[in-house]
Structure 1
Amino acid sequence: MGLGLLPMGLAFGTLATHAGLPWWTAPLFSAVMYTGTLEFLLVPMVLSGTPLATVGMTALLVNGRHVFYALSFPLHRVNGRLAKLYSTFALSDEAYAMTTGARAATWSSKRTVAFQSFNHLYCVAGAVAGSLLGSLIPPRVTGLDFAMTALLVVLALDAVRDRRGDLPTPALALLAALLARLLVPGQMLLTAFSLFTAALLIRHLATRTRPAHA
């Protein structure tokens, strides 16, 4: 997991350095916000003095997917108020993908929180390295942030393999993504999650009310 998170932090630290921000802003953003995409969007916002209301609305739209993550994230397996608070804060795409899988069903509270902590640490460490070494990386070097995309693709394929007998679910997810891309390309992610959640609810209600065969 760290092999995907470190390059993302490195890319963000490099972006912040090339944008003219102080070196410590990159690890600070990664440590306090820990939100991936929003960190990259926040750099030009900070430089242009974007109003806080606009920043807040952008954060809501970009991170709205976490509302859906909370529906099935196993927070009940995390013990202690502080641990639950941190686990909620550190609920990333990678943490959700791993902790909701079948292989994590027996994870202890300590292992779940430790996994999230290491993910957080990888991002901050990458941001520190990128901010300190960013001046050595030419601005024309691109593609570092694609490591995150590749990581999420791998996690998605693992999830499909874990549910080989449940082909309708990934099919519904793909259909929701395609419809969102066609209908609302500017808010594709949030729209796709909404459509997918609605489809799952309809499927659940239809299955529950379907009469059993003799």
Structure 2
Amino acid sequence: MVIDPATLPTATAVDSDPRHTPEWRRALQASLPVGIGLIPLGIALGVLVVQQGLNPWWAMVFTSLIYAGSLEFVAVGMVAAMTPLPYIALTALLVNFRHVFYALSFPLDRVKGGLARFYSMFALTDEAYAMSVTGDRKSMSGRVIVYSQLYLHAYWIGGAILGATAAQWIPDNIVGLDFALTALFVVLSIEAIRAQSGYAVPAMAVTCALIARLADPDHMLPIAMGAFVSLLIVRYFLSRRKVSADA
């Protein structure tokens, strides 16, 4: 029997197959672009901690135990002002209420083990959610999801420690660090739009944001989110009715 060498698997072909790539490496490759955006934000948080008069080690406490992105920036000022805990808790609920909706479609069922599941719920951030439900990442295994969350958490903690350590050398009026969050979410939004089968949902989101901006700029976010969620609920029931009618 003659064997055609062209039909034999080469080392390159095997190495390029995602199934032969260690899960920790796949998670690192997936999380690195997002991590590049998280590090400047972490630096900004670390600088803010020091500027508010807190000890630099508070940066690690915030990023390790709270790990809630925008809430941490709010919490720094509240802690520095000795705000009562009930007010801090209420603020945390309002700022992070969107995570309730993340839980509806986050693939937690792929994560095995009680400890891994607990951490995955704790580390469910906007970035981790976007990574796990868009594009080819819908097929991410439970280990890849948890590894990705660990890497994102490490980027965030590392950036905050770096910012707190170097705060004395970073000017107060530095420009650009705060834009990293905007740029990061623009990229994540583009990936989410590409993963959609149509443009109805992105159009609904933009419309709600514009209407809320015109109606009440001071309360744009809750109005826009409330309107968007309402439209999604209506769209869901309409699609179910259509499926029932077709059946």
Name the TM-score, length of structure 2 as normaliser.
Answer: 0.81
- Contact 1:99/1:112 (8 A) holds in 2: yes
Could you say which structure has the greater relative contact order, defined with CA pairs below 8 angstroms and 6 or more residues apart? 1
Cα deviation per residue 1:139-175 (whole Å; 9 max; x = unaligned)? 1113212112101111101111222x31111111112
Q: 1:194 deviation in Å?
A: 2.8
- 1:195 corresponding residue in structure 2: 227
- Contact 1:65/1:189 (8 A) holds in 2: no
Aligned partner of 1:180 among 212, 219, 223: 212
Q: 1:188 to 1:139 in 2, by over 3 A?
A: same
CA-based RMSD: 1.7
- 1:169 corresponding residue in structure 2: 201
- 2:112 corresponding residue in structure 1: 79
Aligned partner of 2:148 among 100, 115, 133: 115
Alignment of 1:103 with 2:136, yes or no, is yes
Q: 1:90 deviation in Å?
A: 0.3
Name the TM-score, length of structure 1 as normaliser.
Answer: 0.93
Q: 1:11 deviation in Å?
A: 0.5
Which letter maps to 1:193? Answer: M
Query: C-alpha separation between the residues in 1 aligned to 2:167 and 2:110?
Result: 40
- 2:238 corresponding residue in structure 1: 206
Which letter maps to 2:213? Answer: R
Query: C-alpha separation between the residues in 1 aligned to 2:219 and 2:88?
Result: 16
Query: C-alpha separation between the residues in 2 aligned to 1:41 and 1:183?
Result: 25
Alignment of 1:124 with 2:128, yes or no, is no
Q: Which structure has the larger Rg over C-alpha atoms?
A: 2
Q: 1:208 deviation in Å?
A: 2.4
1:5-154 residue pairs with structure 2 within 5 A? 5-154=38-187
SS of 2:230 mapped into structure 1? helix
The number of residues matched between the two structures is 212
- Contact 1:64/1:190 (8 A) holds in 2: no
Query: C-alpha separation between the residues in 2 aligned to 1:190 and 1:69?
Result: 16
Structure 1 gap segments, 5+ residues each: none
